[in-house]
Amino acid sequence: MNQLTAILQRPTVNWWDVLDILVVSILIYEGLKLIRGTRAAQMVIGSIFVLLLFYGSRRFPLQTVNWLIRNVFVYAGFAAIVLFQSDIRRALSHLGRSPVFRYFAGSKQADETIEEVMTAASLLAQEHVGALIVIEREIGLRNYVESGIPIDAAVSYDLLTTIFRPGAPMHDGAVIIQEDRLAAAGCFLPLTVSSKFDRDLGTRHRAAIGVTEESDAIAVVVSEERGEISVAFDGHIERRLTPERLRDRLSELVLQHRAAGVA
């Protein structure tokens, strides 16, 4: 009876306990987001299996297995740092660009990204050079990023216009921007199969609509034939935008969306 009473008796929970649990929950959630779709995820699964095997060897008379795991664990941490140093560096960089830190840093970096994209689209449209620039929002585009060439560079109109120059190796693919960084170029996107759009829409426009049907991303398209700028979102497309109108639409779709997400 005393044991049952001790089990049912709960300690007093104060605000510090709630804050402690909240911080740990956020760290676990962000950690899972960082390793999702990377080699580190496979390592975590393997580590869980090894831990289960270790406790199983202590529960049952598996002395050799227990000895082997205990000796291997001594060097496992150093091996993980060496093998996954690039993933660790990318994870720390990703953490520094998380919404919490972006809230304190303000929207200056997002403003600069929008300005660079607008400038690049304007220059490419004037020269009738086709382009497709996708801006990630809440839903990740990692599958599409992995189909292209990784870059991980600051967003600049010089880099964007260079990528889409005729004859460039990545000219026909899409550029994907993640968290105000140019993640990859030459990416392949799904094409929309909807019949409600004009037949004069080319592959770039249909790819822009297709990726916005599959996610909440925003796609900026420059037509090679007509030299016009379009923006696609939520499975729709707005065509014949001026550079100023493009800036306004991107500000509405990107900055206000981030502000709502942080709030």
Confidence of residue 104 (pLDDT cuts 50, 70, 90): very low
CA end-to-end span of the chain, whole Å?
49
Give pLDDT tens digits for 55-71.
Answer: 888 888 788 887 887 77
DSSP letter string over the chain?
-HHHHHHHPPPPP-HHHHHHHHHHHHHHHHHHHHHTTSHHHHHHHHHHHHHHHHHHHHHTT-HHHHHHHHHHHHHHHHHHHHHTHHHHHHHHHHHHTSHHHHHHH-SHHHHHHHHHHHHHHHHHHHTT--EEEEE--SS--HHHHTTSEEEEEE--HHHHHHHTSTT-TTTTSEEEEETTEEEEEEE--PPP--SSS-TT--HHHHHHHHHHHHSS-EEEEE-TTT--EEEEETTEEEEEE-HHHHHHHHIIIIIHHHHHHH-
Confidence of residue 217 (pLDDT cuts 50, 70, 90): very high
Q: What is the per-residue pLDDT for 208?
A: 94
Q: Average pLDDT over the chain, rounded to whole?
A: 81
Q: What is the per-residue pLDDT for 106?
A: 44
pTM score:
0.61
Q: What is the per-residue pLDDT for 10?
A: 62
Give pLDDT tens digits for 113-150.
Answer: 999 999 999 999 999 999 999 999 888 898 899 999 99
Residues of the chain with CATH 3.40.1700.10: 106-262
Q: So what CATH class is 106-262? A: alpha beta
Distance of CA 62 to the CA centre of its chain: 43
